[in-house]
Amino acid sequence: FMAEGVEVRQDRWVAPNGGVFKKPDGTWSADREPFDAVIIAHNGKCAERLTSKIRSPVSKLCKAAFGTKPSPSRMTLNSVYSLVVEVPAGSFASADTAHVFEDDGVLAFAANQGKKLGWAREEDQTETWTVLSTGAFGSKNKHPQEQLRGTDVEERVKNEMLAALGSALGASEPLAPLRWRLQLWGAALPLNAHVSDVPFAWDAENKIGVVGDWLSVEGGPVASIEAAFCSGDALAKHLAATPSESAGLK
C-alpha cells in the first residue's frame, strides 16, 4: 500500500559500471531510462561502484570497507552467516523466543520464528529457528556466497552453528535438522554510521541522494530496519518540501 499510485519497477538490474550516469542536460540515465533524479538505496561494493564516477559528495559517502572493526573513513560492513533450521519441537531446554549472545565466538542471535511472528501452536511438531553468526565468524569462514551451496564450507559452517546453538540453548542431543538453509550475508550490518543533522544525504545541485540504515542523526537508530525506514522517509519528506536544498552531505 505504500507504493499505491507509484510506478514500481521490480526485478531490474542496474549495471554497477556505467549503469547510472548524469547526462549533459542535467538529467540522469539509469538502466538506459531517463530520470530527473537518482536515489541510491544501497550500500557496499555495488553502491560504491554505481557512484564511483559521479561527481557529487554522495560518492564519498558510498565508499565501503569490509571487516570486523569500523574504518575511520569509510562505512564498514561485516559478513554474517544466516542459518534457518527446522527441528523437532522441544529440542531445546530454553523456552526463549529469541536469544542474544554476548560473548559467543560463533553466534550473535537466534530466534524461534513461530513464536516471534505469532504463528506457533502448542500442537506443532516442529520449530523453525533463524540463527545469525558473529561478524568475526562470518569473516573467518567467508566464501563466495553465490557458490556456497553444496560445498565443504557450507557443511562445516552449518555444523558449527548448530553445535553452538544446541550448547547455548540446552539441546539434549546433537541437533539433526529436518530442513535447513545457510546463506552468507556478505554485506551485513554496518559497524559505523554517517551522523549528520538528517538521516540521509541529498545533493540538490546534482539531484542525487542516498538513504540507508548507516545514515543517522545523533542518538537516532542505526543498523536496523527502523533506521532504513527513517532514512528513506526523511528524504521523501525533504524532497516534497525543499528539493532545492542540499542536506546531510557533511
Measured distance CA(142)–CA(151) in Å, rounded: 12
Partnered with residue 127 across adjacent β-strands are: 87
For residue 31, the model assigns a pLDDT of 87
pTM of the model: 0.82
For residue 1, the model assigns a pLDDT of 60
For residue 188, the model assigns a pLDDT of 83
C-alpha cell at 93: 531446554
Sequence-distant (6+) residues with CB within 8 A of 62 are 40, 43, 47, 48, 50, 51, 75, 210
Name the stretches of the chain with pLDDT < 70: 1
Single-letter amino acid code for the residue at 67: G
Q: What are phi and psi of 20, to 5 degrees?
A: -130, 125
The answer to whether 111 and 97 have CB atoms below 8 angstroms apart is yes
